[in-house]
Structure 1
Amino acid sequence: MFKRNNTITAALCGAVLFCGLPLTVQAAPVEKAFASTYQPVAAVSSGQAQVVYYRTGQPGQANGSAHVYVDREFHTGLLPGGFTAFCVAPGDHTLGAYLNDAPQYQGKSTDMYRAEFLGGKTYFLRSDSGSNGAPQVVSRMDAERELAGSRMQVHALSRASAVESCRYQQGATYKDYTLSGDVLFAFGKSGYQDITSGGYAAVRELISQLNSDNAQPKRIQVIGHTDPFGSEASNQVLGLKRAQTVRRLLLDGGLPASVVSATSAGSHEPVTEDCYGSKSEQVQCNAPNRRVVVRVETPEQL
């Protein structure tokens, strides 16, 4: 998909970069740099191509920003654990994410990486320390596993004129089925051998409901959610393990492996937050947060 263009523009942007965007990107407080956590993006119309560009790492790591350029124009600065989603017209575009960009600001002065984007397609691109400049193309399943817990980058305004608001396909929809974590697992457990009898029954009922709905899913994402007890990292792992276990049960029930993926939101998306009292009271209050959501994308409204 990507190819190197040996023609590199010699002139650097110089004084035109006085706007100070890189300084703004790097100095933005973490709590103001991010918005909502990643949710699966819907399909776009045939008149657009969609790009989900993300940076690996934990939100808040102070490694500086990776400046994202689209057709030589600044779009955003990705901090570790951040992502941006945008659309462009189908066709030829240049883009990249550059770490330690100052003072040359390569994305404004070079056309080193060029891609042909097809209408109606969504592309997942990753930036990390090993891909300075060149985006890494990632499959949707792998990308959304890495995007679990990532948050939308919101602290910089896009200057890229090629970036458009996305127009999503009519009729594509999502439906969420929520399974209680306390029904599925004992407290703190996550393995296949830890599923309760009630958990097996709940998953069988869900599979039966999907079959009766004649959903014919295009994609199913199993999302593990935890309560706030424990560290952010441990909750992320626990949520993923629970999602992977439920995914295995769905496959056991006959759903095709090619459309079912597992990811974790950890404790980032609570449905209840005001829990007080003793530890046991807080555990009980946080029960709604311990859940596994099975998100089904279908071509028609269920």
Structure 2
Amino acid sequence: MQVLLLVSAVLFAVSDGKINQTMVPCKTLCITANDKHLEGYDPTLSPVFLHKPRCAVIYNMESCYYRRHTHGDDTECQPLCLPSSYKIITRQLRTGPREFTIPEDCQFTYSVCKQCKRQSNIVKFFESSRYEKEVDVGRCIGSCNGVDHVGTDLSHCVSVENETISIPNPNGITAVSVIKQCSCEASCYRFSYLEAFLERNDSNHPAVQEKIIDVGRCVGSCNNVIPGKCLSRDKKTGACLYSFSARRAVCRPSIGEDVRFINVDGKIMTIPVVKKCGCISG
């Protein structure tokens, strides 16, 4: 009888379609499960074991609650059990130093129920030393289900702009890539990449200033295959007699433009800039 009353209460809470978030009984927990792995051998031939926690969903037999999100169309969106923070550790192996990314804590994230966006992702470097530092490197997470004006599938939530920061270490500095912006893109897409130049206002004035140009890069992959071009066809049936072999498409610039400016030597400099990327025959 108590189970029927609880189910009825939940159904009543969502029956009017106006509530986007409800508290409902759950049977899962997001935990850190500890696994021990043999990673290799150190320079003294001693085995190197590493405890590598992983995020796991387990069933909880007791009563618990978690938030179940729904989209505007009342489609249920299940949360993901993901690491909320990491640490980077280094171990000396016979093959040389090797870095490992170790989850420190796990939690359910509901960002998958929302539009693609940047989410905080804390990584700890050089733990238990005076160089220890936490950096929010970010991650891209969320739903993508749209298409652009020409019908290209934009189903990948990816980083479109990064920056590199430096943190000190015992050997100098370590470069860390940090996600700045996320977007829904195709499998092959344009990635922001900045280059710096010195330019003059005009050839008659010696004053120079810095000019930053986003030249862009094409990143991603292409799964489609470009069919081979038919070189000769049968005059009666139209069947292709022989052709170039089919080739796999490559992610490369599809639209570009030139940016011109006067450099420090007073000459006109031309820099090619990627405007759009696409899957093109290699």
Quick check: TM above 0.5?
no
Q: Which has the higher strand share?
A: 2
- The structure number with the bigger radius of gyration is 2
TM-score range, shorter chain: under 0.3
Structure ranking higher on relative contact order (CA contacts 8 Å, 6+ apart): 1
What TM-score comes out, normalization by structure 2 length?
0.24
